[in-house]
């Protein structure tokens, strides 16, 4: 009788071991070979192993890692005897898992039993002379493993674990495979393709000498950092070439190269592809930087120059960035960052840059009357204040927040009590809508010192610019935050922020900005009166271009012609008004909603506004990115404030005004002590301020139509409507085309409709 084989297919949970074991069994059967499937430690063929497996797999039996190691190997010792007998009888034993699972999960994954030698001794004792004749490791990215485990949802102890744990387990398998010389098959292709690879590897499998003792290679240190364990992923690929060349010297991607690309790209052959989370974004940015100097398909470049480093060779990245342009490469890597407990003064400085994305907590939907764990309200205390001045600052801030809390709760009750909505319709959406109305009306009494959380997504270049902007600011809060941003982001993308504070680069830029601002301020102080202007026009259109909107006709026709712009202008001079108007109307098109914006010819027209509004309105409109010349003056309580009609109706005006009285007293106190900059924190969101902005006509469509929607804040709706009216006076055709500037919807009803729709979507998601 011919001797059988003991073949093990190993790898992390969810990699497809069971599927491949079954597929291989069919292939052996097709060639007339007796075959038997096992899952080691096998629970079907041995009663003792079955009982032990039930204990280890059932999450209802809590146990520590040492107990698991002992129980698994006890079951293993039992089940290996069954495999021994089957192999001796000439059967091919295809086994799903073996002792590598114990090392991968209990040692590498858990890490709470750091004695590698002891675990190996236990395995040696359990296994004895029963070594596999052939062991093959299947591998796949952790996001694939997690997805498959979740789909299966079997509820076993090791299913549905987090990505970091799976990454350690996967790295453990690959480390052991390299140390032991086991082949690794990257299971990211179709089942059929993977089976074919496994069958090819088994074509030369012969029975091993069963007298050979189990030998274990020197283990990695238990102190090995996770990133070094994960690097074993790439080391397993290094055992196989990723590229080869044909006789003409052209690159050919090998099977190993294709497997790598399937892990890091969404498409290995098409003209369009994206990068997956399995590749370091810094590596992607560096590889993209090579586009300007290398003519190959970028996938070839990636395999040839970067796959072996996989984002861990900082020296390589530095060389690439230096050789192929700092600024352009900085634009190719992005970073999410969060700033907690930023004052509302700082949030505007954080959102100063155009080329980044921002989100912050809304003062329109959140009650800001909750205290933190230390018993403090949510406000920032300037670090330059101390002694009695700091005590006075805190006392007055606390007083304002106490008043805010009372106001917002009382107004919510008033709105709900006087709502026209039927009792039967007063659902969660109604409560959210009434709460938002109260927050809208009372947020003017919140101090500018009120803290918020700001989320930022920016390229490396935009982050560097933001950091330098903050470090050059006069406000200590801004400088401190700028340094913290630099410190934290350097932990993730250090190569891209090397220059941010170098004396000859970022340092020089910071000094330039700071000294320039100081010089101009000193000139302004000497040449301009320092009194507050008594003229408080809310919206002043200070400049615009063109004087005649019909001058844009040539620009509207330009892309549809072969003539120079000046020649089109000459032609247009002889056209009558109705002909030009027809062109303008055609360019505007049939707009069915506010997102249907006309083309870029409108970006040539510009409008400059000098505005006076409360800080709460400014903080909403300031976040529009596609604007020019946005500047604002120091905050002061001396432009006054408005009392919302709703507050007056509820009889809360006196309490509302009390907050502004406290603010004015504190502001004067800080100014008298020489803290002009810090005095801004004492102003309230309802205090009016002066700022200016320039934007083009195309941006006007977006901003004014968006900011006049009924669910918007009444304050910025009114201001936006006034800007629209000013534009319509001088450019009536453009104004006429802004057909979605809202005029007269009832804000309470439209807000309620929006809340109901949000609630509907949430309910639909629950159903799904």
Average confidence (pLDDT) over 90-115: 84
Average confidence (pLDDT) over 282-299: 76
Highest mean pLDDT among 109-113, 156-160, 523-527, 724-728: 724-728
Are the beta carbons of 640 and 688 closer than 8 angstroms? yes
Asked whether residue 479 carries a pLDDT value surpassing 50, the answer given is: yes
Q: Which pLDDT does position 215 carry in this prediction?
A: 34
Q: Which pLDDT does position 232 carry in this prediction?
A: 47
Q: pLDDT digits over 20-37, tens only?
A: 999 999 998 888 888 999
Q: Which pLDDT does position 237 carry in this prediction?
A: 43
Q: Which of 619, 613, 618, 634 is nearest to 361 (CA)?
A: 619
Q: Which pLDDT does position 478 carry in this prediction?
A: 93
Q: Which pLDDT does position 722 carry in this prediction?
A: 94
Q: pLDDT digits over 490-539, tens only?
A: 887 777 777 777 787 788 888 888 899 889 988 988 898 877 766 667 99
Helix (H) or strand (E) holding 737: helix 732-737
How many whole angstroms separate alpha carbon 350 and alpha carbon 358? 9
**Higher pLDDT among residues 350 and 318, named by residue:** 350
User: In the predicted model, what is the mean pLDDT of the chain?
Assistant: 82
Helix (H) or strand (E) holding 629: strand 628-632
Q: Which pLDDT does position 502 carry in this prediction?
A: 75
Q: Say how far residue 198 (Cα) sits from the centre of its chain.
A: 39
Asked whether residue 218 carries a pLDDT value surpassing 90, the answer given is: no
Question: Before 278, cis peptide (omega within 30)?
Answer: no
For residue 150, report the phi and psi dihedrals to the nearest 5 degrees.
Answer: -70, -40
Residue 95 bridge partners (DSSP): 8, 38
How many whole angstroms separate alpha carbon 343 and alpha carbon 382? 10
**pTM, to two decimals:** 0.63
Q: Which pLDDT does position 60 carry in this prediction?
A: 64
Percent of the chain scored above 90 by pLDDT? Answer: 37
Asked whether residue 135 carries a pLDDT value surpassing 70, the answer given is: yes
Confidence label for 43 from pLDDT (cuts 50, 70 and 90):
low
Identify the weakest region by mean pLDDT among 209-223, 389-403, 507-521.
Answer: 209-223
HSE, CB side, 13 Å, CA atoms: give it for residue 65: 17
Q: Which pLDDT does position 212 carry in this prediction?
A: 32
User: What are the distances in angstroms from CA 687 to CA 410, 532, 657, 665, 669?
Assistant: 22, 14, 11, 14, 17
Confidence label for 95 from pLDDT (cuts 50, 70 and 90):
very high
How many whole angstroms separate alpha carbon 80 and alpha carbon 130? 7
Fold observed for domain 5-222: Rossmann fold (3.40.50)
Helix (H, G, I), strand (E, B) or coil at 665: helix
Q: pLDDT digits over 243-277, tens only?
A: 888 888 888 998 888 888 888 888 888 888 888 87
Confidence label for 374 from pLDDT (cuts 50, 70 and 90):
confident
How many whole angstroms separate alpha carbon 555 and alpha carbon 295? 37
Q: pLDDT digits over 54-64, tens only?
A: 676 666 667 77
User: What are the distances in angstroms from CA 221 to CA 108, 117, 225?
Assistant: 10, 11, 9
Sorted by sequence, the CB contacts under 8 Å of residue 162 that are 6+ apart come out as: none
Q: Which pLDDT does position 161 carry in this prediction?
A: 56
How much is the CA Rg of the chain, to the nearest whole Å? 35
- β-bridge pairing 35-39 and 606-614: unpaired
HSE, CB side, 13 Å, CA atoms: give it for residue 747: 19
Could you state, in order of their start, the residue ranges of all structural domains in the chain?
5-222, 240-332, 336-534+614-690
Highest mean pLDDT among 460-469, 481-490, 721-730: 721-730
Q: CB neighbours (10 Å) of residue 266?
A: 12
- β-bridge pairing 251-253 and 134-139: unpaired
**Higher pLDDT among residues 487 and 667, named by residue:** 667
Percent of the chain scored above 70 by pLDDT? Answer: 83
For residue 97, report the phi and psi dihedrals to the nearest 5 degrees.
Answer: 85, 160
For residue 453, report the phi and psi dihedrals to the nearest 5 degrees.
Answer: -110, 130
Q: Which pLDDT does position 103 carry in this prediction?
A: 87
Count, residues in the chain: 768
Confidence label for 120 from pLDDT (cuts 50, 70 and 90):
confident
Identify the weakest region by mean pLDDT among 136-140, 175-179, 222-226, 414-418.
Answer: 222-226
Confidence label for 98 from pLDDT (cuts 50, 70 and 90):
confident
Both tokens assigned to 403: 């008043």
Identify the weakest region by mean pLDDT among 196-200, 456-460, 748-752.
Answer: 748-752
Q: pLDDT digits over 581-636, tens only?
A: 999 999 999 998 888 899 999 999 999 999 999 998 898 888 787 888 899 999 99
Q: Which pLDDT does position 264 carry in this prediction?
A: 86
Both tokens assigned to 374: 């230390």
Question: Before 422, cis peptide (omega within 30)?
Answer: no
Residue 691 bridge partners (DSSP): 611, 632
Are the beta carbons of 168 and 108 closer than 8 angstroms? yes
Asked whether residue 754 carries a pLDDT value surpassing 60, the answer given is: no
Burial classification of residue 449, based on how many CB atoms lie within 10 Å of its CB (0-12 exposed, 13-18 middle, 19 or more buried): buried
Are the beta carbons of 476 and 385 closer than 8 angstroms? no
Q: Which pLDDT does position 763 carry in this prediction?
A: 61
Q: Which pLDDT does position 223 carry in this prediction?
A: 40
Q: Which pLDDT does position 444 carry in this prediction?
A: 93
For residue 165, report the phi and psi dihedrals to the nearest 5 degrees.
Answer: -65, -45
Asked whether residue 459 carries a pLDDT value surpassing 70, the answer given is: yes
Asked whether residue 435 carries a pLDDT value surpassing 50, the answer given is: yes
């Amino acid at each position: 009788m011919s001797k059988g084989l003991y073949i093990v297919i190993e790898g992390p949970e969810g990699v497809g071991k069971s599927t491949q074991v079954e597929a291989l069994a069919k292939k052996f059967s097709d060639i007339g070979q007796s075959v038997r499937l096992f899952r080691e430690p096998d629970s079907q063929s041995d009663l003792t192993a079955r009982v032990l497996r039930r204990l280890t797999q059932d999450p209802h039996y809590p146990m520590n890692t040492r107990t698991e190691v002992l129980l698994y190997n006890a079951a293993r010792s039992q089940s290996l005897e069954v495999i021994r007998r089957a192999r001796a009888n000439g059967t091919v034993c295809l086994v799903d898992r073996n002792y590598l699972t114990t090392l991968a999960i209990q040692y590498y994954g858990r890490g709470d039993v750091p004695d590698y030698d002891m675990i190996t001794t236990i395995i040696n004792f359990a296994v004895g002379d029963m070594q596999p004749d052939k062991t093959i490791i299947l591998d796949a990215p952790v996001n694939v493993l997690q997805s498959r485990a979740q789909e299966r949802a079997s509820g076993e102890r090791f299913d549905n674990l987090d990505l970091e744990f799976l990454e350690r387990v996967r790295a453990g398998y690959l480390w052991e495979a390299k140390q032991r010389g086991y082949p690794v098959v990257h299971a990211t292709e179709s089942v059929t393709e993977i089976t074919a690879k496994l069958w090819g590897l088994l074509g030369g499998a012969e029975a091993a000498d069963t007298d050979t003792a189990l030998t274990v290679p020197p283990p990695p240190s238990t102190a090995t950092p996770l990133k070094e364990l994960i690097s074993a992923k790439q080391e397993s690929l290094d055992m196989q070439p990723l590229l080869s060349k044909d006789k003409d010297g052209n690159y050919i991607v090998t099977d190993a190269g294709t497997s790598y690309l399937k892990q890091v790209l969404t498409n290995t052959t098409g003209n369009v592809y994206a990068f997956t989370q399995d590749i370091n974004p810094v590596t992607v940015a560096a590889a993209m930087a090579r586009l300007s100097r290398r003519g190959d398909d970028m996938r070839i470049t990636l395999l040839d120059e970067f796959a072996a480093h996989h984002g861990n060779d900082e020296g390589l990245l530095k060389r690439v960035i230096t050789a192929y342009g700092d600024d352009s490469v900085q634009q190719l890597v992005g970073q999410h960052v969060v700033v907690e407990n930023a004052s509302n003064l700082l949030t505007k400085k954080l959102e100063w840059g155009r080329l980044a994305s921002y989100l912050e907590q809304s003062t329109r939907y959140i009650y800001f009357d909750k205290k933190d764990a230390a018993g403090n309200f949510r406000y920032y205390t300037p670090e330059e204040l101390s002694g009695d001045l700091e005590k006075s600052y805190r006392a007055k801030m606390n007083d304002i927040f106490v008043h805010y809390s009372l106001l917002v709760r009382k107004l919510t009750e008033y709105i709900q009590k006087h709502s026209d909505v039927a009792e039967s319709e007063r659902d969660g959406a109604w409560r959210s809508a009434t709460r938002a109305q109260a927050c809208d009306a009372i947020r003017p009494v919140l101090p500018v010192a009120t803290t918020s959380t700001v989320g930022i997504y920016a390229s490396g270049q935009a982050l560097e610019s933001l950091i330098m902007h903050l470090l050059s600011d006069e406000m200590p809060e801004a400088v401190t935050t700028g340094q913290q941003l630099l410190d934290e982001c350097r932990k993730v993308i250090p190569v891209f922020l090397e220059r941010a504070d170098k004396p000859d680069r970022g340092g020089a830029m910071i000094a330039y900005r700071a000294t320039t601002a100081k010089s101009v301020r000193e000139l302004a102080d000497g040449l301009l009166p320092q009194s507050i202007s008594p003229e408080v026009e809310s919206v002043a259109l200070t400049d615009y271009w063109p004087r005649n909107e019909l001058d844009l006709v040539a620009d509207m026709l330009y892309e549809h012609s072969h003539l120079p712009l000046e020649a089109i202008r000459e032609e247009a001079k002889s056209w009558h008004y109705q002909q030009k108007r027809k062109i303008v109307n055609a360019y505007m098109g049939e707009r069915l909603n506010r997102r249907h914006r006309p083309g870029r010819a409108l970006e040539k027209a510009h409008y400059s506004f000098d505005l006076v509004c409360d800080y709460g309105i400014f903080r909403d409109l300031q976040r529009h990115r596609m604007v020019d010349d946005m500047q604002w003056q120091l905050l002061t309580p001396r432009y006054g404030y408005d009392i919302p009609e709703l507050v007056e109706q509820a009889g809360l005006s006196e309490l509302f005004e009390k907050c502004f009285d406290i603010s004015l007293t504190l502001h004067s106190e800080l100014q008298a002590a020489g803290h002009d900059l810090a005095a801004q924190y004492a102003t309230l969101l309802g205090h009016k301020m002066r700022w200016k902005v320039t934007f083009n006509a195309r941006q006007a469509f977006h901003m004014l139509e968006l900011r006049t929607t009924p669910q918007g804040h009444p304050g910025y709706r009114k201001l936006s409507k006034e800007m629209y009216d000013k534009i319509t006076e001088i450019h009536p055709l453009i104004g006429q085309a802004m057909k979605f500037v809202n005029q007269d919807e009832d804000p309470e009803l439209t807000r309620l409709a929006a809340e109901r729709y949000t609630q509907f979507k949430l309910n639909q998601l629950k159903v799904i």
